[in-house]
Amino acid sequence: MASFSSLMITSLAASALRYSAAFSPAPSTIARRAASSSLRMASDNDFDDFSSKVSFMFPGQGAQFVGMCAETCKDIPKAKALFDEASEILGYDLLEICTEGPKEKLDSTVVSQPAIFVASMAAVEKLREEQGQDAVDAATCAMGLSLGEYSALCFAGAISFADGVKVTKARGEAMQAASDAVDTGMVSVIGLDKEKVTALCEAASEKAGEKIQIANLLCNGNYAVSGHMKACDVVAEIAKPDFGARMTVKLAVAGAFHTDFMAPAVESLKKVLADIEIKKPRIPVISNVDAKPHSDPDTIKELLAKQVTSPVLWENSMESMLEHGFEEALELGPGKVTAGVLKRINKSAKCTNVEV
């Protein structure tokens, strides 16, 4: 099996006050609920006319690798401090797993999700250290691939760093539990357009007697499908001979992410989200669910819960970004997945990686 990050590499071979909100301690539960109640009538269209002039992108699960953040945390104390805080919340040494492994533990859903979130926030500190606060404040919008949406929301001041660690930990645990309940998986299909991949899924579902569907719409010619393992096997069997796919690769993930197979994870995630404060982002953050930015905290919470069972509309998000005055993008975090997708969609798009 290939990791989501390695597959993508192969196949595609934000003022201290504003930002400190992302790393401020969470308020009491009572204060959180009061704040949430006061925001229920908040507008959700404040970012309809957003600018993507400088877009910050954050990677998702699969971008992790053993050794990540070792040099960054050695050279940048604020990055190391993030890992120290996260480890206190998680109850284990997250940096040690990121830098030393073992790979199997880092790759597990319950560890990789908080690991990538913290690593992405460490990349923000690296950017601040190397290029100054102005480089951080230059961002006009943010987005993240699946899990990366939490990194984008933290960067935009919508959630605190501590709450980001808590919710990504809970999200990983809930998705792992849902995956353990049924034998499911994901397959990347390379070389087919969306219509053909949809037809492929329909044929595989019929032949296997089990459901499979498009889960990650990355870009034309690169879509990931999720479903029952029997249907995954059929996709791998018939994609090339019957539909003309260039290749298929089973992904090393716990289960059928972004499908109804993850429905058992939704209620657990909702409970965690209900206990954290989400503020209006200081810059637009594009949702994976509908490829639009939202300003109402309650709507953002609802979409985050919905995200685990909804297809990731990354292709649509990229298209929206490119249509709103885009000039350049920065990918912050491990790997170069989102940068690779952007280049696949628009070869001339300017993109810089802040790697850890």
Contacts of 73 (CB under 8 A, 6+ apart): 79, 80, 83, 95, 99, 122
**How many residues appear in the chain?**
356
Strand partners, 226: 186, 213
Alpha-carbon torsion, ordered 341, 346, 350, 351, to 10 deg: 0
Task: Cite the beta strand spans of the chain per DSSP E.
Answer: 54-58, 141-144, 184-190, 212-219, 222-228, 247-250, 285-286, 328-332, 350-354
The answer to whether 146 is a known catalytic residue is yes
Neighbours of 15 (CB within 10 A): 11
Using an 8 Å Cβ cutoff, are 197 and 223 in contact?
yes
Could you tell me the two tokens for 87? 């480890």
Using an 8 Å Cβ cutoff, are 54 and 330 in contact?
yes
Using an 8 Å Cβ cutoff, are 175 and 265 in contact?
yes
The answer to whether 258 is a known catalytic residue is yes
Could you tell me the two tokens for 286? 């594009």
- Catalytic option among 112, 160, 258, 310: 258
Residue in the structure block whose two tokens are 């690769």: 249
Do strands 141-144 and 285-286 pair parallel, antiparallel, or not at all (unpaired)? Answer: parallel
Instruction: Say whether 74 sits in a helix, a strand or coil.
Output: helix
Provide the edge-to-edge strand list for the sheet that holds 212-219. 212-219, 222-228, 184-190, 247-250
- Please list the helix, strand and coil fractions of the chain in percent, rounded to the nearest 5, in that order: 55, 15, 35
Alpha-helical (H) ranges within 244-336 are: 263-274, 297-307, 314-322
- Catalytic option among 146, 151, 226, 317: 146
Give catalytic residue positions. 146, 258
